[in-house]
Amino acid sequence: MTEVKEKKVEDIKKEAELLKCPVQRSLYYVREFLNGPMCGRCFPCEMGTYEARIRLENLVNGNGSVSDIDALRRIMNYMLTASMCMKGKNTARFVLEWLGSEDFNAHTKGECPQMECKGLIRYRIIPELCIMCGECKKVCKFNALLGEERKPFQSGFLPFEIRQRRCTRCGECIKVCPTKAIIIESKAATVTSAKT
Amino acid sequence: MTNNVNITINGKTFQVPEGMNLIEAAELCGIHIPNLCYIKGMRGIGACRLCLVEIEGQKGPVIACTTKVKEGMVVRTETEEIREIRKFVIDLIVSMHPLDCMTCTKAGVCRLQDYAYEFEIKESSFTRKRFGFSPDEGNPFIKRDPDYCILCGRCVRICKAQGTNVLDFMGRGVGAKVTTAADKPLQESGCTFCGSCIDVCPVNAILEADRWRKGREWDYERITSTCLLCGGACDIVVSTMNGRIMKINASAPEASQERYICAYGRFGYDAIESHGRLSRPMIRINGELREVSWEEALSHTAKLLKKAGRDTSFITTGSILNEDALMLKNFVTLVVKTKNIDSTVSLYGDRDSLISQVADIDEADLIITAGLNPSQWTRALASIDAIIRKKVNGGAKLIVISSDDIPLSGIAHVKLTGNEVEFLKALTKALIDKGLSKDKNLTKLTEDAGVTEAVLKAAELIEASKSPLILSSPVLYGAGANLSLIKGKAVSVSPEANAKGVILMGLVPSGLSIKEMAKGGTGLLYVVGDLPINIRPQVETLIYQGTYMTDLARSADVVLPVASYLETEGTIVDYLGRLKRVTKAIDTEIPSHRDIFKDLAKLMKVSLKPPKETEIKKLIKLPSKAKPSAFEKKEGFDLDIRRFIEQINAPVINNSRLLWLKESGVMV
């Protein structure tokens, strides 16, 4: 079994900051921290980050509430003073920094302003922009695209749309759409006009 | 002589020994600093963070378990912030702990419960975590229930310090589990079932296997006493309820390395209520043992003694109490007036080789063992093995002098394996060469000794130490004690609990020896105690006065039951020369040895009174220093100490749950 070198706490922070949503950043950080540098010796850090992961997962899935944010803040504040080593204290510092963002509150209402939390967003095809080339359907591994390529001799057509139950928001279809007809929007958003 | 320093805790000034751990110092001053992962006497690890305190001059709170007191230290143990942090930690722990206080057997003595009460945590404000670990209940001694574990690590550390290394953390973080290697049951992991983990666990994660539904902790009466099953003579606390023994725990102070009892002492009490225990006197009538009344049994015994006159011998063990020993001596010399008396002590030592000075093992910083092979695994003086290993773990040095490599040699800083006498001689010479002694006598005795490199290393250790302690087997005591004439102290360690007391009370061999008596030298043989003799000696009359129905008892002509060590009061002299008290834990109608001798004496028209404590104390005269002795190993005392300890405890083992050790093949 090869020895995986433990990631440094600062490196995990850098990796986390590649993400845009602060909740996603915190969750990524806490998960990586629990996998690696968390030594499990002192109770505030060991049990605190475990609990923090549960709360962050709630927020990311749209099941979060204000009490989750309060709990996170409480845990991180105590970790800052009571942790045994700098790893725990730095973790608390980083997460507290991200907790300062207003985006956290938005997640309690089911919205991810940065459009990154997969449980809170959906992909939608704007029919007016779609040229029915079928490229998206070709790359979708989950069979989430409905629709048929427009054939010139056909009068009617099956428009392209995304089956929300199958879509995992992996982002492959967005990459290949030539007209940028697939947009990411909040799950809670209601479609009021045809053009966004 | 440690200096005292002045410290201020919460506004009040106190005087405490310099360099003492802050948690222990605060406790001396009557202030409790909350802690869950700290074990007194061992280094603090700072895992639980409950002991955070504010020390003037230090930025932010620091943990008390790794702080030593210094002159002028100003400490605050209760501030708003600290209290909130403690509440936070207990809250987290409660979130992963079963909320079982209603039926939990630890209720009342549970540290988590106490702190939850203190910080008003009714239920956790964090998500409830359930792990569903299955308990390890495969043995009749210790039950492990990892669901209750709070991951404080005390059991892991105490097991490592003792050298048994059975428990460790598996995994990291909240889902971690304290378990054996490969998560096997205890009996397949080298566990000796000493139960030190039970004594140290703050919650209900490790407990006695039969603890369930045996009463709540607050129903128990606790009596401190001493275990008499081997030469360790460990301090015990016996919990009783409704006149029955519920459990036994170690009762030496938490900060002392002596806090230990082995499986025999902890779980052997079953034997007292077993079928194998003698409860009514019996006389052999028409070839069969029949139960009779006490009056009949005693008058019959008195008649037999009167008839036999001087043709009697008395034989006893080294585990009887001082009071019983002195009573027996008086009975033999004043009532029966025979000169044949001996005890099992003669199998391994005599006055010269057993009576040593008073010593303290906690304060020793260097231990030298000579000819001893203590082992927790074979339960031969298990406590001494555990104490030495714990001391070495805490920084003490160890020199092992033995004829062969023994398990203890593995952790010795210097091991001298071979001719023990020659090594002791060489060691003494090396110390003289270093200028530590100018004693002409010793110089002459060690003239011809050869100092090897290993011996020189050992001598350097002795020179550098402050308080060396020599633990010697009786046959090597004379030689080993010569070292104590130069530096430190030396004690002789007997395999039985009260060998020294028995000798000091005057039960020295006279007349026939124990070996001769065991073959059958007189018409009447009176056995006092559960002697490890299997075959009935060739005597006309055999009187057995003991606690258990052994093979010897079964072959006797008169059987007189006697109270066990948990049912009598008295004193013993342990291997360190201390007068230890044995207190009655439960009442019984069965008389003690001295009661029987008093009644017998009355029937034989002599008035014998059970000795008072002042009489006993007068007889306990221990030398303040050893005498210079020849460098030789005493002859005639060849005894397999390990087998001997097993034999004297055979009745307890065979009549209690300890028998499982033999039946399951765990016992070597």
Paired strand residues for B585:
none
Report the distance separating Cα B566 and Cα B640, nearest Å.
27
Last-in-domain residue among B78, B108, B136: B78
Contacts of A42 in chain B (CB under 8 A): 46-49
Return the SS3 of A176: helix
Name the residue type at position A113: P
Q: Residues with Cβ < 8 Å from B642, sequence gap 6 or more?
A: B373, B375, B378, B380
Report the distance separating Cα A174 and Cα A164, nearest Å.
15
Residue A24 sits in the same domain as residue A82? yes
Tens of pLDDT, residue by residue over B207-221, are 999 999 899 999 999
Residue A18 sits in the same domain as residue A79? yes
Q: How big is the A-B interface in CB pairs under 8 Å?
A: 70
Side-by-side strand order, sheet with B489-492: B414-417, B397-402, B366-370, B468-472, B489-492
Q: Is the dihedral of CA B637, B643, B649, B654 positive or negative?
A: negative
In order of A36, A88, B176, B449, the CA distances from B129 in angstroms are 22, 22, 13, 68
Residue B242 sits in the same domain as residue B359? no
Residue B358 sits in the same domain as residue B463? yes
Residue A132 sits in the same domain as residue A67? no
Residue A173: give its domain's CATH number: 3.30.70.20
Burial of B103 (0-12, 13-18, 19+ CB in 10 A): exposed
Tens of pLDDT, residue by residue over B519-553, are 877 899 999 999 999 899 999 999 999 999 999 99
Residue A169 falls within a domain, yes or no?
yes
Report the gap between the CA of A113 and the closest CA in chain B (Å).
27
Report the gap between the CA of B89 and the closest CA in chain A (Å).
6
Q: Does B59 contact A at CB distance below 8 Å?
A: no
Residue B450 falls within a domain, yes or no?
yes
Contacts of B172 in chain A (CB under 8 A): 38-40, 46
Residue B61: give its domain's CATH number: 3.10.20.740
DSSP conformation class of B187: G
Residue B64 sits in the same domain as residue B110? no
Residue B184 sits in the same domain as residue B137? yes
Residue B122 sits in the same domain as residue B154? yes
- Mutation for A interface: B51, B59, B126, B177, most A CBs within 10 A: B126
Residue A150 sits in the same domain as residue A97? no
Burial of A30 (0-12, 13-18, 19+ CB in 10 A): buried
Residue B465 sits in the same domain as residue B418? yes
Q: Give me the domain span that covers residue A129.
A: 121-186
Helices and strands: H and E segment counts in chain B: 22, 26
Examine the pLDDT at B133 and tell me if it is beyond 50.
Answer: yes
Report the distance separating Cα A65 and Cα B26, nearest Å.
43
Residue B261 falls within a domain, yes or no?
yes
Residue B114 sits in the same domain as residue B255? yes
Q: Does A40 contact B at CB distance below 8 Å?
A: yes
Residue B147 sits in the same domain as residue B234? yes
The verdict on a CB contact (< 8 Å) between B61 and A54 is no
In order of A160, A177, B25, B119, the CA distances from B88 in angstroms are 53, 51, 25, 9
| Whether B18 contacts B2, CB under 8 Å | yes
Name the residue type at position B592: S
Tens of pLDDT, residue by residue over B432-490, are 999 888 888 888 888 888 899 999 999 999 999 999 999 999 999 999 999 999 999 99
The verdict on a CB contact (< 8 Å) between B88 and A44 is yes
Tens of pLDDT, residue by residue over B597-617, are 999 999 999 999 999 989 999
Burial A121-159 (b: 16+ CB within 10 A, else e): bbbbbeeeebebbebbbeebeeebbebeeeeeeeeeeee
- Mutation for A interface: B51, B127, B154, most A CBs within 10 A: B127
Examine the pLDDT at B143 and tell me if it is beyond 70.
Answer: yes
The verdict on a CB contact (< 8 Å) between B95 and A81 is no
Q: Residues with Cβ < 8 Å from B322, sequence gap 6 or more?
A: B498, B501, B502, B504, B505, B570, B571, B572, B573, B611, B616, B619, B620
Smallest Cβ distance to A43: which of B47, B60, B126?
Answer: B47
- The tally of domains found in chain A comes to 2
Q: Does A42 contact B at CB distance below 8 Å?
A: yes
Residue A85 sits in the same domain as residue A169? no
Residue A28 falls within a domain, yes or no?
yes
Last-in-domain residue among B233, B253, B273: B273
Last-in-domain residue among A84, A108, A132: A108
Residue B414 sits in the same domain as residue B488? yes
Smallest Cβ distance to B92: which of A38, A41, A51?
Answer: A51
pLDDT for position A152: 80
Q: Residues with Cβ < 8 Å from B635, sequence gap 6 or more?
A: none
What is the maximal distance between C-alpha atoms in chain A? Answer: 73
Q: Residues with Cβ < 8 Å from B475, sequence gap 6 or more?
A: B348, B349, B353, B371, B633, B634, B637
Residue B59 sits in the same domain as residue B120? no
Q: Tell me if ipTM is over 0.90.
A: no
Residue B403: give its domain's CATH number: 3.40.228.10
Which phi and psi (to 5°) does residue B111 adopt? -65, -40
Examine the pLDDT at B2 and tell me if it is beyond 80.
Answer: no
Residue B548 falls within a domain, yes or no?
no
Residue B187 falls within a domain, yes or no?
yes
The verdict on a CB contact (< 8 Å) between A78 and B174 is no
Residue B8 falls within a domain, yes or no?
yes
Nearest Cα residue in chain B from A48? B92
Q: Give me the domain span that covers residue B208.
A: 98-273
Report the gap between the CA of A129 and the closest CA in chain B (Å).
46
Hey, which bits of B511-557 come out as E strands? 524-528, 541-546
Residue A116 falls within a domain, yes or no?
no
pLDDT for position A193: 55
Report the distance separating Cα B593 and Cα B595, nearest Å.
5
Residue B667 falls within a domain, yes or no?
no
Report the distance separating Cα A173 and Cα A141, nearest Å.
10
The verdict on a CB contact (< 8 Å) between A39 and B172 is yes
| Whether B209 contacts B260, CB under 8 Å | no
Hey, which bits of B371-413 come out as E strands? 397-402
Q: Are strands B235-241 and B524-528 parallel, antiparallel or unpaired?
A: unpaired
Rounded (5°) CA angle B7-B12-B14:
40
The verdict on a CB contact (< 8 Å) between A82 and B125 is no
- The tally of domains found in chain B comes to 3
Residue A67: give its domain's CATH number: 1.20.1440.230
Q: Does A63 contact B at CB distance below 8 Å?
A: no
Q: Does B64 contact A at CB distance below 8 Å?
A: no
Last-in-domain residue among A63, A81, A108: A108
Report the distance separating Cα B167 and Cα B141, nearest Å.
16
Residue B612 falls within a domain, yes or no?
no
Residue A138 sits in the same domain as residue A73? no
Query: pLDDT tens string for chain A (196 positions)?
Result: 455 677 888 888 888 889 989 999 999 999 999 888 888 888 998 899 999 999 999 999 888 899 999 999 999 999 998 998 888 899 999 999 999 888 888 888 888 888 888 888 889 999 889 888 889 999 999 999 988 887 788 777 788 889 989 999 888 999 999 999 999 888 877 766 555 4
A175 token code pair: 């990459």
pLDDT for position A192: 60
| Whether B24 contacts B40, CB under 8 Å | yes
Examine the pLDDT at B396 and tell me if it is beyond 60.
Answer: yes
| Whether B664 contacts B140, CB under 8 Å | no
Examine the pLDDT at B235 and tell me if it is beyond 90.
Answer: yes
Return the SS3 of B619: helix
Q: Which of B170, B173, B87, B93 is nearest to B128 (CA)?
A: B93
Residue A59 sits in the same domain as residue A93? yes
B378 token code pair: 């074979």
Residue B32 sits in the same domain as residue B71? yes
> Looking at residues B164-191, what average pLDDT do you find?
90
- Mutation for B interface: A59, A78, A87, A91, most B CBs within 10 A: A78
- Mutation for A interface: B79, B81, B89, most A CBs within 10 A: B89
Residue A66 sits in the same domain as residue A150? no
Tens of pLDDT, residue by residue over B149-173, are 999 999 999 999 999 999 999 988 8
Q: Are strands B177-180 and B62-63 parallel, antiparallel or unpaired?
A: unpaired
- Cβ neighbours of B398 (radius 10 Å): 20
| Whether B483 contacts B470, CB under 8 Å | yes
Last-in-domain residue among A108, A133, A153: A108
Residue B257: give its domain's CATH number: 3.30.70.20
Residue A127 falls within a domain, yes or no?
yes
Last-in-domain residue among B253, B273, B293: B273
DSSP B287-347: TEEEE--HHHHHHHHHHHHHHHTTSEEEEE-TTS-HHHHHHHHHIIIIII---EEEEGGGG
Q: Which of B663, B583, B657, B666 is nearest to B272 (CA)?
A: B657
Residue B42 falls within a domain, yes or no?
yes
Residue A17 sits in the same domain as residue A59? yes
Smallest Cβ distance to B49: which of A40, A43, A51?
Answer: A43
The verdict on a CB contact (< 8 Å) between B47 and A41 is yes
pLDDT for position A1: 45
pLDDT for position B510: 87
Tens of pLDDT, residue by residue over B398-438, are 999 999 999 999 999 999 999 999 999 999 999 999 988 88
**Ranges A3-17, A65-79, B223-237, B382-396: which has the least confidence:** A3-17
Residue B54 sits in the same domain as residue B152? no
Return the SS3 of A158: coil
Residue A19 sits in the same domain as residue A89? yes
pLDDT for position A159: 85
Residue A165 sits in the same domain as residue A101? no
